[in-house]
Amino acid sequence: MFVVDIEGWSITIFNDCDELDYCEGCVSPDGLRWSFDSGDRYGTDPVALLSTWEHHTMERMLKQL
């Protein structure tokens, strides 16, 4: 699991075997929080909304950190 800060957003991403798995949670610049719940509707996880290209590009970039 790792945290990425982007333009004031804090995003916690679960990494399983060097592959993006799901977004554990997010905190907006104004402090609003979102947490992953396995019971949430399909398509509410931001990682699931990435295209195949975006997903692979993000994995490659995060491996370089």
pLDDT digits 0-9 by tens, 8-62: 999 888 877 777 777 888 899 999 998 877 666 665 677 777 788 887 888 888 7
For residues 17 and 35, give the distance between their C-alpha atoms in angstroms, rounded to a whole number: 22
Q: Which among 5, 54, 59 has a CA at the least distance from the CA of 28?
A: 5
Contact in structure between 3 and 11 (CB atoms under 8 Å): yes
Q: Residues 49-56: contacts with CB within 8 Å, 24+ apart?
A: 50/20, 55/20
